Amino acid sequence: MPINFSHVFFTYNPKSPFQSNALKDINITLPEHRFVALVGRTGSGKSTFVQLINALLSPTDGYVKIGDYINHPEKAKKAPKDLSKEQKKAWKAEQKRIQQKHKSKDIKALRKHVGLVFQFPEYQLFEETVEKDVAFGPKNFGDSKEEALKKAHQALEEVGLDSSFFTRSPFDLSGGEKRKVAIAGILATSPEVLIVDEPTAGLDPAAAKDAMALFQKIEQAGTSVFLVTHDMDLVAQYADEVIVLENGQVVKQCPPSELFGQDLTQYSLQNPHVFDFALRLEKRGLKLNTASLRNVDDLANAIMEAKK
């Protein structure tokens, strides 16, 4: 599903003393069927950016096109003063059409295609059994109870929770298991675009690895995955492409190996451990080839190569 940001601005609390411009003139076409990481310091606009993709927020100005759906500003725009009467009329009609769209069923269809997993999604579990919780999404999008349950079971198995979990209460599960249930809830609606906001925060390394492997599998099955994260080690390891947000603007869009391995203080980012180590070796005079550096094993290969 093609996603395109055109002159997108977003302002929190406009025209008040608390006004803050979260996004400023974003123009970007997002890659499809890729594993894309969104990075940037706290407050750089990452969360606002992803909430525009599934229309939880609407831009203050500009628009976001997600497949057939266009996410326009909620407030009708005033016509420019220099228009003729007919032009003004056409402008108003167009604005009205846009406004109605916000209330239409299109937005529901959009959210079926774009799944967003919030940070700490386990806090959103609410049903009495795991399968009911996961089936909520598909049922809400119009599936019969049986169909929804079938999809729920499939999604649960996909995240690695077998049938012994189906009828348990989600509140009796461990932190990592709860998160898996929450992710299954999104997968059950089979979105074309999956956005995950800090999915590994608070998980132990093994559970984090499981979660990332799952997103990679989902991406390889044809879903576009957008990962919002602070963890540069994950970006180096999994992402095909990385988008850097800084101060409400996209300042870089490139493969991870192009971003990492240089001084990143200007973006308030840290290099992944492997690149950091490579950089320190370089400063001492040992230059490594970092073009395909993703993990410790790649780093060891690059060192062996350089020492030859």
Partner 1 sequence: MNIIEVEHLKYAYDKNSKPAVDDVSFTIPAGKYVTLIGHNGSGKSTLAKLLSGLITHYEGKISLFGQPIEKADNAAIYALRKKMGFVFQNPDNQFVGSTVRDDIAFGLENRQVPHEEMDGFIHTYAKKVGMEDYLDQSPENLSGGQKQRVAIAGVLAMHPELVLYDEATSMLDPVGKRDILDITFHLREENPNLTVLSITHDVEEAFRSDYVLVLNAGKLVLEGTPAEVFSHTEELKKIHLDAPFFLSLKAALKAKGMEIPDEIDTEEKLEEFLCR
Distance of CA 150 to CAs 20, 125, 136, Å? 45, 19, 12
Q: Using the rule CB under 8 A, is 308 a contact of partner 1?
A: no
Pick the binder of partner 1 from 230, 240, 252, 258 (CB under 8 A). 230
Q: How far apart are CA 115 and CA 118, in angstroms?
A: 10
Q: Is 12 in the site for partner 1 (CB under 8 A)?
A: no
Taking the least distance from each CB to partner 1, the nearer of 148 and 235 is: 235
90, 100, 204, 289: residue in contact with partner 1 (rule CB under 8 A): 204
Q: Which amino acid belongs to residue 306?
A: A
18 binds partner 1 (CB under 8 A): no
Place of tokens 């192009």: 258
- Is 141 one of the binding residues for partner 1 (CB under 8 A)? no
186's tokens: 């999104």
Sheet holding 20-30, edge to edge: 20-30, 3-12, 61-66, 69-71
Backbone angles phi, psi at 200, to 5 degrees: -105, 0
Q: Does 216 bind partner 1 (CB under 8 A)?
A: no
**By CB under 8 A, residue 285 contacts partner 1:** yes
> How many chain residues interact with partner 1 (CB under 8 A)?
31
Q: Which stretch binds partner 1 (CB under 8 A): 69-77, 137-145, 226-234, 237-245?
A: 226-234
Least separation, in Å, of the C-beta of 151 and partner 1? 27
Closer CB to partner 1, residue 37 or residue 114?
37
Residue 273 CB, shortest distance to partner 1, in Å, is: 5
Q: Which stretch binds partner 1 (CB under 8 A): 7-15, 21-29, 187-195, 201-209?
A: 201-209
Please report whether residue 79 would count as binding partner 1 according to CB under 8 A: no
Q: Judge contact between 130 and 166, C-beta under 8 A.
A: yes
Answer yes or no whether residue 85 interacts with partner 1 by CB under 8 A: no
Q: How many angstroms separate the CA atoms of 289 and 56, rounded?
A: 43
Largest pairwise CA distance in the chain: 77
Q: Nearest CA to 7 among 50, 57, 63, 48?
A: 63
Q: Between 146 and 304, whose beta carbon lies closer to partner 1?
A: 304
**Torsion angle, alpha carbons of 239, 243, 245, 250, to 10:** 180
Q: Are 251 and 266 in contact (CB under 8 A)?
A: no
Asked if 168 is part of the footprint of partner 1 (rule: CB under 8 A), the reply reads: no
d(CA 268, CA 15): 29
**Site for partner 1 (CB under 8 A): which residue of 174, 266, 289, 292?**
174
Query: Which residues form the interface with partner 1 (CB under 8 A)?
Result: 42, 174-176, 201-207, 230-232, 268, 270, 273, 277, 280-281, 284-286, 296-297, 299-301, 303-304, 307
